[in-house]
Amino acid sequence: MSSLQPVRGTHDLLPDDSRRHRHVEQTAFEVVKRYGYGEVVTPIFEFTEVFSRTLGETSDVVTKEMYTFADRSGDSITLRPEGTAGVARAFISGGLSQNLPLKLFYRGPMFRHERPQKGRLRQFHQVGVELLGVDSPQADVEVVSMAFRMLQALGLGDTVQLEINTLGDADSRTAYRDALIAYLEPFRDALSEDSRARLDKNPMRVLDSKDEGDKRIVAGAPLIQDCLTPGARAFFDEVCAGLTALAVPFVVNPKLVRGLDYYCHTAFEFITTALGAQGTVLAGGRYDGLIGQMGGPATPGIGWAAGVERLSMLVEDVPEAARPVAIIPMGDVQAAMVLADRLRAVGLAVDLGFSGNMKKRMARANKARARFAVILGDDEAARGAVTLRDLDSGSQEEVPLAALEERLLRP
């Protein structure tokens, strides 16, 4: 029955999948904490203007992919398609300009109505960081290298490749916009409908087109490196030198761009060939004009976001869940519940079945990958003891109840 299936592009995170997700998210957080980042949690929906103003009215996300609806007050509300805009809005509405620099980490679900494929869902999860209030190339080096260290911590340092480029400063981009229009204008009639609209409003977005005809046209387009001011070139040289000093491997991809005007200087992506055509697992860049465009004070910023589903598919070594202790009550069930509560209070995972004979309970213990079985029978209880069975070796011993916690916590 279709109504009892997950909506297309969504899926359930059952315990094994959830453990992988949690490993990715927690590893990311543990790494960025070493750089002084704290966690911020923003709502999963915002007023639509938060995203339409920041992502661009002509972007595919705004025109085709956002989940937008009118609430009961008639306000236009959108489920967040990405995390940066919400963080920027929180910065403005929270009046945080006196707290700069700000180092923020976020994680959680995002929503885009696009064609589901491997590693790409309509409800997906991201981890991301935003560094606000620092305009130096050293900030770019820290943010990019931090992303690489996070991927290394997940065991993916050799699986991904960092591609990096510069988008230049405002003067560089103005010169590049003019050069790009001059190149594309003779091809106007051959461009896709979307690209013709973008040519008038935001020509750099034509470079992002997925249309095969557009791709052939832009293959010969001028590069922004040809239009860089001396200051922009020096900024990028410092970023590259910093990454080299930190032994972060990278390649310069002169065709890596961001179409929106508030982006500048560094743009970067970590890509892999292990996920098919959709190979980007982490992407980011500098967006010094974003907060000012949203109506806040002019504030430099740089950040990145990574897809948790994609990273989960790549990660091989996920820590196993803690092996529990199984309690097998052969007499007083209430005494077994009291004992389970005692063991949980000292941090042990405890599996206590609700019914079944000895054979069934032991089968359950093995299925739960229990390390030990604590057999609590009437005879043992009368002696103030339990039988402790090592489920790896098969050996067993009688242990006084008073010493059980110490015995189970022993390495």
Least confident of 20-29, 141-150, 200-209: 200-209
The reported pLDDT for the residue numbered 156 is 94
The reported pLDDT for the residue numbered 98 is 93
Q: Which residues of 361-386 are buried (b: 16+ CB within 10 A; e: fewer)?
A: bbebbeebebbbbbbbbeebbeeebb
The reported pLDDT for the residue numbered 278 is 58
The reported pLDDT for the residue numbered 193 is 87
pLDDT more than 90, % of the chain: 64
325-409 folds as Rossmann fold (3.40.50)
Range 98-103 average pLDDT: 95
Confidence bin at 120 (pLDDT 50/70/90): confident
Q: State pLDDT tens for residues 283-327.
A: 999 999 999 999 999 999 999 999 999 999 999 888 888 899 999
Q: What are phi and psi of 103, to 5 degrees?
A: -120, 110
Kindly tell me if the per-residue pLDDT of 141 is higher than 90.
yes
- Domain spanning 2-169+229-314 has what CATH number? 3.30.930.10
Question: Between 70 and 211, whose confidence is greater?
Answer: 70
Residue 84 labeled ligand binder: yes
Range 238-264 average pLDDT: 91
> What one-character-per-residue DSSP string does 290-322 give?
HHHHTTS----EEEEEEEHHHHHHH---PPPPP
C-alpha–C-alpha distance, residues 146 and 151, integer Å: 9
Confidence bin at 277 (pLDDT 50/70/90): low
Start-to-end Cα distance in the chain = 50
Mean pLDDT of the chain: 90
Kindly tell me if the per-residue pLDDT of 2 is higher than 70.
no
The reported pLDDT for the residue numbered 248 is 98
The reported pLDDT for the residue numbered 1 is 46
Q: Vertex 265, ends 262 and 266: CA angle to 5°?
A: 110
CB atoms within 10 A of CB 302: 25
Contact 372, 326 (CB under 8 A): yes
Contact 37, 83 (CB under 8 A): no
Residue 262 labeled ligand binder: yes
Residue 37 labeled ligand binder: no
Confidence bin at 410 (pLDDT 50/70/90): confident
**Residue 91: helix, strand or coil by DSSP?**
helix
Kindly tell me if the per-residue pLDDT of 379 is higher than 70.
yes
Q: State pLDDT tens for residues 51-78.
A: 987 776 656 666 678 999 999 999 999 9
Confidence bin at 119 (pLDDT 50/70/90): low
Residue limits of CATH 3.40.50.800 in the chain: 325-409
Residue 389 labeled ligand binder: no
Contact 307, 271 (CB under 8 A): no
Residue 112 labeled ligand binder: yes
Residue limits of CATH 3.30.930.10 in the chain: 2-169+229-314
Beta pairing class for 76-79 and 45-47: antiparallel
Residue 410 labeled ligand binder: no
Q: State pLDDT tens for residues 181-191.
A: 999 999 998 99
Residue 126 labeled ligand binder: yes
Least confident of 74-88, 133-147, 290-304, 318-332: 318-332
